[in-house]
Structure 1
Amino acid sequence: MEAAAAIADPVRREILILLRETGRTAGEIAAHFDISRPAISRHLRVLREAGLVRAEPSGRERFYVLDPAPLAELAGWLAQFDSSGGWEQRLDALETEVYRTRRERRGQAPIRQPRKDTA
C-alpha cells in the first residue's frame, strides 16, 4: 500500500487536492507552499512512485496530473474497517418515521399515499 504511505504526509495530501481539478507544473505547485522547490520535487517523486500522480510532458514543462486509482484501492481496503454497516441511513429513516408519526398523532393531516385501485 504505497498510496497509504504517500498520503501520510500533509504536504502530499495538499498536493493531491491541488491536482484534483487540473494538472499543474512543479512551479505552480511549489507556489502554494512555504517550502523549497527541491522539497516539492521530492514530494512529487513519492507521489509518482506510489502511482498517485503522473508527469505529462508539454514542451519544456511537465504537468503533474492526479491518478485517483490507487486511492480507490486504498478506500476499498479501508472500508473493511467501517463498522457502521449502513446504520447512519437506517437511523435517518427511523428519525423520519418518528417525525411523521408524531405529526399524525397531533392531528395534522397525514401525508396521503396514492390509492391503489384493486380489481
Structure 2
Amino acid sequence: MAQYLAQLDRVFVALTDQTRRAVIRRLGRGPASVGDLASEFPMALPSFMKHVRTLEESGLIRTAKSGRVRTCTLNRERLALVDDWLAEQRRIWQERTDRLEQFVTETAKDQP
C-alpha cells in the first residue's frame, strides 16, 4: 500500500504543473520527440527537459533515444493509477451522500 501511495503521489505532483499537463495531453495523440514538444512552449530546452524528467520519473511518460532524437510516449497504465484512485473517491463520497440522504429523510419523517 505504501508503494502504491508513493507512486500516486509522484503522479499527482507531476500533474500539478500546467506545462506537464499540456505535454500529457499532447502525448495522448501519440508519441512525439522532445524537440517537437518543446517547440510548443516559450522556454529554453534545458528548462523543458526538467519537465520531461519529472514526467518520466513519475512514470507518466517513457522516453527512448534513437540517434540524436529522444521520443516521448505516454504511459497510459500509469494514468490508470489516477483513474483507480478517483473511482475509489467517488465510491466513498457516494456512500457518504447516500447516508446523508437517508439521515435527512428519516429526520424529516420524525418531525411533526
TM-score by length of 2: 0.69
Q: What is the letter of the counterpart of residue 35 of structure 1?
A: M
Find the aligned partners of 1:20 and 1:39 in 2 and give their Cα distance: 22
Moved segments of 4+, more than 4 Å: none
Q: Which has the higher contact order (CA 8 A, sep 6+)?
A: 2
Identify, as 1 or 2, the structure richer in helix. Answer: 2
Moved more, 5-14 or 52-61: 52-61
**1:3 aligned to 2:11?**
yes
Percent identity, aligned pairs only?
31
CA RMSD of aligned residues (A): 1.4
Letter in 2 for 1:32: E
* Residue pairs, 1:90-105, within 5 angstroms: none
Larger Rg: 1
What is the TM-score of this pair, normalised by structure 1? 0.66
Structure 2 residue corresponding to 1:32, chosen from 40, 47, 50: 40
Counterpart residue type for residue 67 of structure 1: N
User: Does 2:47 correspond to 1:44?
Assistant: no
Count of aligned residue pairs for this structure pair: 85
Three-state SS of the structure 1 residue aligned to 2:89 is coil
Structure 1: gaps (5+ residues): 86-119
Decide which of 42, 45, 59 is 2:67's aligned counterpart.
Answer: 59
